[in-house]
Amino acid sequence: MKITIIGTGYVGLVTGACLAELGNDVFCLDVDQRKIDLLNNGGIPIHEPGLEEVVARNRAAGRLQFSTDVAASVAHGQLQFIAVGTPPDEDGSADLQYVLAAARNIGRHMTGYKVIVDKSTVPVGTADRVAAAVREELHARGEGSMEFAVVSNPEFLKEGAAVEDFMRPDRIVIGTDDTPAGLRARDVMKLLYAPFNRNHERVYWMDVRSAEFTKYAANAMLATRISFMNELANLADQVGADIEAVRHGIGSDPRIGHSFLYAGAGYGGSCFPKDVQALERTARQYDQELLILRAVEAVNDRQKQVLGRKVVQRFGEDLTGMKFAVWGLAFKPNTDDMREAPSRVLLKELIERGASVAVHDPVAMEEAQRVLALDLSADQLARVAFKATPMDTLDGAEALVIVTEWKAFRSPDFEQIKARLKHPVIIDGRNLFEPPLMTGLGIEYHGIGRSVLTGK
């Protein structure tokens, strides 16, 4: 099938590369010439395990091309996937300017039936706005009778596992309407996703608005589980309970399960923060209040400060002249994404209290330097040392603070950590280690919700 992907960001690039891997002829469009040049020269603008190999293989096979030519992109595919960014607006709502710009471009250049697929995460009702934008351009051309359909096909990709998620999906949500154009679109989408349904049916068919809602509802539920456990972890520290034991205890209930029940330093990234805000904004437009989601967001904002609070509780309010080692900068492992990362909150607080920091992340160092230059003044940024290895951060530091649960951090040389730190103190924002083991090694350990085992 001939497919056009509009936008070569995280969702668009993964979607385009994986659809090409299935044998489709994919044209990826982006307005950023530098990004297109990078892709055409064999580079990848994001870190995602396995993606570089898939892109290279399909470019070499001629199934995947990258361009800034809008007219050529519309001419190429009967299927037009809109996978552009929907950043949060000032009021928390999703900014649809790029989605609607893509829709208008399709309407300006299309010469026959198109299936326009909203792949971007968009609020309920966006398909109607996309259809209106296309129709307006067609009428301006005197082509108002030209047929098209708008389909909702939200993505459910986890950063760090996106290629695997796309190629082996647990579900494929598709929303269509029951007009003749919509029923024709359903047949096209069935053909597109047929390779995924050979063992069992993975497609969930529904109306367009329900499909749009499903994406937000899924992310809101996952964010709620995270904030719920973080709030319980903070209480566990006060009452003398071990949140890890609690997690196992409640996760064994099949109605609850174990996923997304890990206490930590708060969620970040491109999806959960903006999607929770956007769903709250949608509710307000309909005079509804989503009280649970408002609390989820407030708990998460507070949880991002938990590591800074633990540092202050141990070393005092004034950290002038002190140095701290920080392991992990990306909001989660296997990505270089620094959007809404808890590390940014921690570093800002430590530096504003007078400390300096030495930091390491396996893949996010370059992106971290870029975003921290936005968070900090030049003088403050000068107190951030980016180190080539985790152990290089330790020399002369008061303590080690772990922010991201990279696998490379799970089995360190604890004797070397003790020897290189000024004090044998680990503040663990992801509960990577067992407190009794740390105590046995002579390390003062501060986890999240695990004070019953350390007496802290």
Catalytic residues: 271
State the DSSP string of 33-81: HHHHHHHHTT--SS--TTHHHHHHHHHHTTSEEEE--HHHHHHH-SEEE
> Contact 390/361 with Cβ under 8 angstroms?
no
First to last CA, the chain: 61
For residue 157, the one-letter residue type is L
Alpha helices in 240-271 (DSSP H): 243-251
Answer positive or negative: Cα dihedral of 61, 64, 67, 71.
Answer: positive
β-bridge pairing 2-6 and 25-29: parallel
Q: Taken in order 407, 334, 300, 231, is the CA torsion positive or negative?
A: negative
Q: Which H helix or E strand runs over 367?
A: helix 365-375
**C-alpha span between 22 and 196 (Å, rounded):** 10
Q: Encoding tokens for residue 440?
A: 């046995």
User: In the chain, what are the helix, strand and coil shares in percent, each to the nearest 5?
Assistant: 45, 15, 40
